[in-house]
Amino acid sequence: MSPRTHVGIVGAGPAGLVLSQLLDRAGIESIVLEDRSREHVEKRVRAGVLEQGTVDLLEAIGVGERMRREGIVHHGLELRFRRRGHRVPLSELTGGRAITIYGQQEVVKDLIDARLAAGQVLLFDVDDVSVHDFDSDHPRIRFTHAGEPQEIGCDVIAGCDGFHGVCRPAIEKHLKVHNHEYPFAWLGILAQVPPSTDELIYANHDRGFALHSLRSPELSRLYIQCDPRDDISAWPDERIWEEMHIRFETDDGWTLNEGPLIEKGITPMRSFVVEPMQRGRLYLAGDAAHIVPATGAKGLNLALHDVRLLAEALTGWYRNGDTSLLDGYSAACLRRVWRVQHFSWWMTSMLHRIGAPDDFEAQLQYAQLEYVCSSVAAATTLAENYVGLEKV
């Protein structure tokens, strides 16, 4: 007989780790299988904006202590265009809700520590993962660990293995796939330099989008729009900083601090959704099921919304034999997925340039930006989506 657990989780990113933590608190066993090393997943630089709901969830599941201590709470952001900055007062417009800047890799570190401290099974460096019999009541996961072929039986498989994982492909022929690729990418840098701003700056410039974010009082995180065909080798540090200075230029004397780059990379931009997010006893969550353009800072937050619904559904099933939330899992996730997809597409379309500075699309962008910066109603639309809608 293969060893068994209640829930087999593929992937130790935010989705898989939070799901395991939520299930454990409900008395439901799980095993997490991760194909990279612990060091790799803890060093993987990703986004860093936590919605209010995400902060509340991480605190509720007992992994919020360092986030509260080291995270930076922001109550506003700046939209910058035509050499002028306009502050959007996020908290003022949303009854006090805010965002917290705390790197995704920090969230992952806190979750891994919690899972291991709880004695939960979390295997790194797992190879050759494959999922089987999820159309039956006895799904199985096969994998190799420490050179040994293994198989585990479970009641349910959670596909939390991201966009490049194996779980979605296992059912993709049964799914409707929505894939919209944008004609630009993001070049991101992590720089050892104090941030030049207290709040995030989203800039729409004739030469393209730029974003000034941060990680700590000593670390800045910045992005510029680039051609998706660019190779990072074509972007020496000097060229990156030169472009950053141009795109953030203003008439009010603001200046950008430069510093040594710790990391730089180019990430393509797409909107991607599969429907449904489940088949039989296999449930997809997070990037395995959807990808949003990073402009709205939604990827991590949306992943955690999925697993919160999945954990609630599994708890109802294990405790009362009630399958209604499991049967409705995909529909419940997709309501928020499509709301967040639209917001991320809207922010992306408003801020990224693909044509000439004076063409039709640019004029529409300016009109939208001017409206958001002059109308409380329009600014509230951005603010309530950005900090995270309480109900969708």
Rg (CA), the chain: 21
- With CB under 6 A as the contact rule, the residue among 9, 33, 41, 47 that binds ligand PHB is 47
379 contact, one of ligand PHB, ligand APR, none, CB 5-8 Å limit per kind: none
Confirm or reject binding of residue 348 to ligand PHB (CB under 6 A): no
- With CB under 6 A as the contact rule, the residue among 11, 13, 16, 48 that binds ligand PHB is 48
Confirm or reject binding of residue 11 to ligand APR (CB under 6 A): yes
Strand partners, 100: 50, 73
Place of tokens 């265009």: 81
The long-range contacts involving 44-47, CB below 8 angstroms and separated by at least 24 positions, are 44/104, 44/105, 44/108, 45/103, 45/105, 45/188, 45/190, 45/263, 46/103, 46/104, 46/105, 46/299, 46/300, 47/104, 47/294, 47/297, 47/299, 47/300
Burial class for 42, CB neighbours closer than 10 Å (0-12, 13-18, 19+): middle
Q: Restricting to residues 302-361, which ones interact with ligand APR according to CB under 6 A?
A: 303
- Half-sphere CA count of 368, side-chain side, radius 13 A: 17
How many Å apart are CA 240 and CA 228, to the nearest integer?
15
391: CB partners within 8 A, 6+ apart = none
Confirm or reject binding of residue 94 to ligand PHB (CB under 6 A): no
Contact 382, 296 (CB under 8 A): no
How many Å apart are CA 24 and CA 32, to the nearest integer?
12
221 contact, one of ligand PHB, ligand APR, none, CB 5-8 Å limit per kind: ligand PHB
Burial class for 355, CB neighbours closer than 10 Å (0-12, 13-18, 19+): exposed
Stretch that binds ligand APR, among 8-16, 215-223, 270-278, 328-336 (CB under 6 A): 8-16
Residue closer to ligand APR (CB basis): 72 or 378: 72
Burial class for 148, CB neighbours closer than 10 Å (0-12, 13-18, 19+): exposed
Residue closer to ligand PHB (CB basis): 223 or 235: 223
The binding track of 120-159 with respect to ligand APR, each residue x by CB under 6 A or -, is ------x--x------------------------------
Confirm or reject binding of residue 160 to ligand PHB (CB under 6 A): no
Burial class for 173, CB neighbours closer than 10 Å (0-12, 13-18, 19+): exposed
Q: Which sign does the torsion angle of CA 288, 290, 293, 297 carry?
A: negative
Q: How many CB atoms lie within 10 A of CB 336?
A: 20
Confirm or reject binding of residue 294 to ligand PHB (CB under 6 A): yes
Report the nearest approach of ligand PHB to the CB of residue 264 (Å).
13
The binding track of 254-293 with respect to ligand APR, each residue x by CB under 6 A or -, is --------------------------------xx------
Report the nearest approach of ligand APR to the CB of residue 183 (Å).
20
Confirm or reject binding of residue 220 to ligand PHB (CB under 6 A): no
303 contact, one of ligand PHB, ligand APR, none, CB 5-8 Å limit per kind: ligand APR
297 contact, one of ligand APR, ligand PHB, none, CB 5-8 Å limit per kind: ligand PHB
- With CB under 6 A as the contact rule, the residue among 15, 79, 244, 309 that binds ligand APR is 15
Residue closer to ligand PHB (CB basis): 32 or 49: 49
Report the nearest approach of ligand PHB to the CB of residue 366 (Å).
20
Q: H-helix or E-strand containing 31?
A: strand 30-33
Stretch that binds ligand PHB, among 6-14, 253-261, 291-299, 325-333 (CB under 6 A): 291-299
Confirm or reject binding of residue 14 to ligand APR (CB under 6 A): yes
Beta pairing class for 4-10 and 290-291: unpaired
Integer CA distances (angstroms), 283 to 139, 168, 329, in order: 12, 9, 8
**How many residues lie near ligand PHB (CB under 6 A)?**
10
- With CB under 6 A as the contact rule, the residue among 221, 279, 308, 353 that binds ligand PHB is 221
Contact 6, 32 (CB under 8 A): no
**How many residues lie near ligand APR (CB under 6 A)?**
28
Binding residues for ligand APR (CB under 6 A): 10-16, 33-36, 41, 46-47, 104, 126, 129, 160-162, 164-166, 286-287, 299-300, 303
Binding site for ligand PHB (CB under 6 A): 47-49, 200, 211, 213, 221, 294-295, 297
